[in-house]
């Protein structure tokens, strides 16, 4: 698996395109996209608990666009501090907030203003005062070093042009003995150079 994009790929354009797509998902999740979205998809195909999803605002779960369920590997403990990399509209972060309880803390990190706005509104709506959402990237997390019990991420690290800084940041913010629960897209074989230079393929 390639850990970085081709050196001649326009990374700025790639980031711009990714943010544009997910801003559209925030604004109109029923639009025409090449990936699945929504609570039914999360429950039927990814194994999320439908009753837990139903406790969240539909505006949040309708914009869910994950590729797996990071909580299959275990739910965070009561009182834990969790970071969600690429928190989007807040589905995974708010579920985590329910698991850790009011003595815990959840920090969602996302680069897309429209998604952050939806996530913050949802946290207010469900009374999750211990969940906050910060603007930032996976390569430069706005989180103090050694403060996190659990990092989760759902279908986001594949979008990073260079994976090594992402994993370096994860290691930096985790406490000793902390955990990473990651769901993402992987390829069974190496992509062609033509495919790796296709920004449209990177943005999904």
What is the tens place of the pLDDT at every residue in 83-133? 999 999 999 999 999 999 999 999 999 999 999 999 999 999 999 999 999
Spatial distance between the Cα atoms of 123 and 113, rounded to a whole number of angstroms: 15
Q: Give the model's pLDDT for residue 1.
A: 42
Q: What is the dihedral of CA 81, 90, 181, 202, to 10 degrees?
A: -140
What are the residues whose beta carbons fall under 8 Å from the beta carbon of 93, sequence distance 6 or more? Answer: 82, 84, 87, 106, 107, 108, 119, 131, 133
Residues above pLDDT 90, as percent of the chain:
70
Residue of 171, 112, 104 lying closest to 137 (CA atoms):
112
Class of the domain covering 11-186: alpha beta
Residue of 153, 163, 160 lying closest to 184 (CA atoms):
153
Residue 66's pLDDT band (boundaries 50, 70, 90)? Answer: very high
CA distances from 55 to 35, 100, 119, 164, 179 (A): 24, 16, 14, 36, 26
Q: Where are the domains of the chain?
A: 11-186
What are the residues whose beta carbons fall under 8 Å from the beta carbon of 175, sequence distance 6 or more? Answer: 146, 147, 148, 149
Q: Give the model's pLDDT for residue 3.
A: 53
């Amino acid at each position: 698996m390639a850990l970085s994009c081709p050196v001649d790929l326009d990374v700025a354009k790639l980031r711009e395109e990714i943010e544009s797509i997910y801003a559209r998902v925030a604004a109109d999740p029923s639009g025409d996209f090449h990936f699945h979205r929504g609570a039914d998809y999360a429950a039927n195909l990814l194994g999320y608990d439908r009753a837990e999803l139903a406790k969240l605002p539909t505006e949040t779960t309708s914009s869910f666009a994950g590729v797996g369920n990071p909580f299959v590997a275990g739910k965070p403990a009561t009182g834990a501090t969790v970071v969600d990399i690429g928190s989007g509209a807040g589905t995974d972060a708010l579920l985590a907030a329910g698991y850790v309880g009011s003595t815990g803390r959840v920090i969602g990190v996302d680069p897309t203003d429209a998604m952050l706005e939806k996530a913050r509104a949802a946290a207010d709506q469900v009374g999750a005062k211990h969940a906050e959402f910060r603007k930032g990237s996976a390569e430069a997390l706005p989180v103090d070093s050694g403060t996190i019990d659990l990092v989760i991420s759902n279908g986001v690290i594949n979008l990073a042009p260079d994976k090594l800084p992402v994993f370096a940041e994860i290691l930096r913010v985790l406490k000793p003995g902390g955990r990473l629960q990651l769901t993402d897209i992987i390829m069974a074989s190496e992509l062609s150079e033509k495919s790796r230079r296709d920004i449209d393929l990177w943005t999904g």
